[in-house]
A and B are shown apart, each in its own frame.
Chain A
């Protein structure tokens, strides 16, 4: 072991490589930590949202959508915690720099999912929502967007 020094112990290149390894480990841990069945189970839950909206749509749609989206987000988070213990991880809030970046890793799968919901909403605005298969199609697309994106991110991260 080296003795105490005040100057740098390693070159800038080695330090940069070490920092890259740190960032890679953190990113890999965040994404690879979610198994396939996590995406499938939560995807099924989230796929129920367009069905619920179609079933209980009210004159004030945002009054329904915003609380529902909040509940679903909390539900997914709540599901992730006990499932985490089963997969060998007891997660805790991010504890160091880059908090926003790491939270964004968890939020990214919501982007295609929300896009599908919005597309379904636009379809409804155009009058196509009355078709009986429209909510089912939106639900299937929402499931595919959530689970597909999540599993792809997991697979990509695990192979890096």
Chain B
């Protein structure tokens, strides 16, 4: 996982700005996971109000970057996909938000 995230390291600025996370849907996805912890895929669809294909595509990008991990577990007697931020994902998301704050409020 750290190897994958390493592939994206050259895209991240020294200020922490992360173009992988910055895409609107991915930023909202990370913010939601940061707030709630682990969220089931179907529930995430409702929270973000986007299509299944759009969510799948953005989740795949973040998984590829090593920022999100997926886990299969039972909910309502059926196997569901659960999403959560990885430690790398937490760090990258926080640094990205800090970079955005620095842009808005430069010192």
- Asked whether A19 lies within 8 Å of B43 as measured between CB atoms, the reply is no
Q: Is A56 an interface residue (CB 8 A)?
A: no
The contact of A22 among B11, B17, B20, B27, by CB within 8 Å, is B27
- Asked whether B36 lies within 8 Å of A91 as measured between CB atoms, the reply is yes
For A, the interface residue count at a CB cutoff of 8 angstroms equals 39
Q: Is B6 an interface residue (CB 8 A)?
A: no
Q: Which listed segment binds B: A64-72, A94-102, A148-156?
A: A94-102
- Asked whether A12 lies within 8 Å of B104 as measured between CB atoms, the reply is yes
> Which of B54-82 touch A at CB < 8 Å?
75-76, 80, 82
Q: List residues of chain B with CB within 8 A of the CB of A23.
A: 31
Give the docked Cα–Cα distance between A21 and B4 (Å). 27
For B, the interface residue count at a CB cutoff of 8 angstroms equals 41
The contact of B27 among A2, A18, A28, A32, by CB within 8 Å, is A18
Interface centre among A10, A15, A102 (most CB of B within 10 A): A15
- Asked whether A32 lies within 8 Å of B10 as measured between CB atoms, the reply is no
Q: Is B88 an interface residue (CB 8 A)?
A: no
Known: A87-B43, A96-B94. A4 touches B38 (CB 8 A): no
Q: Is A115 an interface residue (CB 8 A)?
A: no
Residues of B within 8 A of A (CB): 10-15, 17, 19-20, 22, 24, 27-28, 31-32, 34-40, 42-44, 46-48, 75-76, 80, 82, 90, 93-94, 97, 100-104
